[in-house]
Amino acid sequence: MKKIRLGTTIVFLAFLVLVSGGSLLIKDRDFSPNENRYLAEPPKLTGDRLLSGQFQKDLEDYLRDQIGFRDGWITIKTGVQKSCGNTDIGGAYVGKDGYDFEKITPEDVDDTLFRRNTQTVAEYFDSVSDMVEPNRLSFLLVPTSGLVMEDKLPKNARLFDQSKYIDDVQRAMEDYNFIDVRQELVTHKDEYIYYRTDHHWTTDGAYIAYEKWCESTGHDCVGRDALRQQIVTENFRGSLYSKILDADSAYDCIWTYGPKDAEPFGSENIVVTIDNKETKDTCYAIEKLEEKDKYAYFFGGNYGEVRIENTALEQGDTEERNLLVVKDSFANSFVPFLTESYHNIYMVDLRYYNGDMETYLKGHHITDVLVLYNISNFVSDRNVYKLTGGI
């Protein structure tokens, strides 16, 4: 028995030496591609921070983030948790058929912030309705995969009541064009409309919403039978994988659509200008397929302002239509479908843009407005107030 205890002690000490030695020898990392976030830096020691306990907290964060072979230990930990039947791992749920889900509970939702965001959008629409026809002021809230594919959630999963919040927004938008895509997405829930390892919808999910958008706004919809699918990667593991780090996680595909015998939407006759600086001839960033966050293939990621000009629509040929999209990242795979319908599309992400939005609308001769958010982002986004400049 003593030999067994001695052997266990030696193994444990060897483990500590390996981890501690590795942590000392391995240079601190600034950024974790797997988790898509910046890691904690060495904490600064001051008397005030020590007395307040902030130094101890920062030190704990630093040691947790910079421990040697960190991603490997998390992967092992996830394997152990799964073998014990745990499906609540790393702030996400491990579901059925290879799907992972965002874990957003009722306690995570700030009702005051949600009401403020809803009121802000309504006030913005009211303030610009003398410049843009009310039926051209649209709001599209995207449900998460947890609502659409509820049957794939693990038993006892707790999520906030998305439908209640979407219904509340719909009532607040009764004078404008609220685009409700819930039923359309649920109808196709057994199809590949959300990524398995990422919180975004796939291009098929975005296309289903595009069909509903066309119906609601009076645009002609390009039928699926007239489209050609182009798979650009089959090696994508997204944001939910980064939370769980499950060695058995599936790999997702990313693809585009375009007319048969033509380039994908957003590739022909397109000029894309990012933050009034970088100019490209496509909505897609192929170099991002070599990085961890492959969803950034759409537009290269998120920016304060992106302008998409369709040079094939000559001025004077038709009534000039310019669309303003106030958005989160769900719009990135949706907007390429709209490029055939507008002379200019202006995408503004309020997380990175601080200009006056009413002035922006006037200065760019906007004829249509679309506010597009995922519901989980909308209830938590603290930048929506910038629409009206409120506090």
Per the model's pLDDT, the better-predicted residue between 55 and 125 turns out to be: 125
Examine the pLDDT at 177 and tell me if it is beyond 80: yes
- 287-299: pLDDT as tens digits: 999 999 999 999 9
pLDDT of residue 43: 72
Examine the pLDDT at 313 and tell me if it is beyond 50: yes
pLDDT of residue 315: 60
Examine the pLDDT at 78 and tell me if it is beyond 90: no
pLDDT of residue 319: 80
pLDDT of residue 7: 47
Q: Are strands 227-236 and 252-259 parallel, antiparallel or unpaired?
A: antiparallel
- 279-289: pLDDT as tens digits: 999 999 999 99
Q: Which residues fall within 8 angstroms of residue 333, CB to CB, at 6 or more apart?
A: 200, 201, 202, 203, 206, 295, 298
Percent of the chain at pLDDT > 90 equals 70
Per the model's pLDDT, the better-predicted residue between 315 and 204 turns out to be: 204
Q: Are strands 322-327 and 368-374 parallel, antiparallel or unpaired?
A: parallel
Examine the pLDDT at 244 and tell me if it is beyond 90: no
pLDDT of residue 11: 39
Examine the pLDDT at 65 and tell me if it is beyond 60: no
If you average pLDDT over residues 14-30, what whole number do you get?
49
Lowest-pLDDT range, 85-99, 173-187, 335-349, 375-389?
85-99
Examine the pLDDT at 190 and tell me if it is beyond 90: yes
> 94: helix, coil or strand?
strand
Examine the pLDDT at 170 and tell me if it is beyond 50: yes
Mean per-residue pLDDT of the chain: 86
pLDDT of residue 91: 84
The secondary structure element, H or E, covering residue 168 is helix 162-172
Q: Are strands 137-142 and 177-180 parallel, antiparallel or unpaired?
A: parallel
Lowest-pLDDT range, 136-140, 174-178, 259-263, 366-370?
259-263
pLDDT of residue 79: 53
pLDDT of residue 146: 97
Where does the pLDDT of residue 168 fall: very low under 50, low under 70, confident under 90, or very high at 90 and above? Answer: very high
pLDDT of residue 23: 45
If you average pLDDT over residues 145-160, what whole number do you get?
96
Question: How many whole angstroms separate alpha carbon 367 and alpha carbon 173?
Answer: 19
Where does the pLDDT of residue 276 fall: very low under 50, low under 70, confident under 90, or very high at 90 and above? Answer: very high
Question: How many whole angstroms separate alpha carbon 282 and alpha carbon 257?
Answer: 13
Where does the pLDDT of residue 378 fall: very low under 50, low under 70, confident under 90, or very high at 90 and above? Answer: very high
pLDDT of residue 344: 97
| DSSP per-residue letters across 265-305 | TTSSSEEEEETTTEEESSSB-GGGGGSS-GGGGBTTS--SE
Most confident of 18-22, 45-49, 65-69, 99-103: 99-103
